[in-house]
Copies of this chain bind each other. A is one copy, B any other.
Amino acid sequence: MRADARKNYDHLLDVARVVVAEQGADASLRDVARRAGVGLGTLYRHFPTREALLEALLRTSFDELTSQASALEAASPPREALRSWLRDCVAFTTAYRGVTELMVAAIEDPGSALHSSCVALRAAGTRLLVRAQADGTARTELDGTDLFALVAALAWLSDQPALAPRADHLFDVVARAVLTS
């Protein structure tokens, strides 16, 4: 990548971080380009789709969550590892409003730029789930996709201003449905 292109790419990403934090996953791309002081075509050249931009924005966090799963697997008992990883997932997904919806769509669309990150996330969760199930501390009628769905639903709840205050409480309620007491 040419030096000027690299500079634009990085700057666009910085600006996008701010704008997406403000407006959510359906933020105006025009606004991103404008605030970055860059032509609209430049944004599209670097990020051909909205997913591509969000993927670049989220990749680091995704990777952290995946490796966090491994760390917890090594360090904590199965039940606690699963529970605290679910918490982390919900918290992360809440960072940018509306991202959950895109993640859910991406997990079934191999063409999406977010696809592989989401699949990796689900795989990490599945490992923790299976481990807890073998331990007898997670219910056996759930699989990794169910877990992904429940995290998504909780993240969605946290995104709703009217319900955000009960998000923690509802996490406990749903966690009880996943884990055995």
Task: Report A's interface with B, CB cutoff 8 A.
Answer: 101, 104-105, 107-108, 139, 141-142, 145-146, 149-150, 152-154, 156-157, 160-163, 166, 169-170, 173-174, 176-178
CA distance A169 to B145 in the complex (A): 12
Q: Identify whether the interface residues of A are mostly helix, strand, loop, or mixed.
A: helix
Across the two chains, which residue of chain B brings its CB closest to A153?
B153
Extra pairs beyond A104-B162, A105-B160 (7, CB < 8 Å): A105-B161, A139-B173, A141-B169, A146-B169, A146-B170, A149-B170, A153-B157
CA distance A152 to B149 in the complex (A): 14
Q: Are B153 and A166 in contact (CB under 8 A)?
A: no
Q: Are A146 and B160 in contact (CB under 8 A)?
A: no
Q: Which residues of B contact A156 (CB under 8 A)?
A: 153, 156
A162 CB contact (under 8 Å) in B107, B154, B170:
B107
Q: Are A177 and B173 in contact (CB under 8 A)?
A: yes
| Minimal beta-carbon separation of A160 from chain B (angstroms) | 5
Q: Are B169 and A104 in contact (CB under 8 A)?
A: no
Interface pairs (26), CB distance under 8 Å:
A101-B160, A104-B162, A104-B163, A105-B160, A105-B162, A108-B161, A139-B173, A141-B169, A145-B166, A146-B166, A146-B173, A149-B157, A149-B163, A149-B166, A149-B170, A150-B170, A152-B160, A153-B153, A153-B154, A156-B156, A173-B177, A173-B178, A174-B174, A174-B177, A176-B177, A177-B177
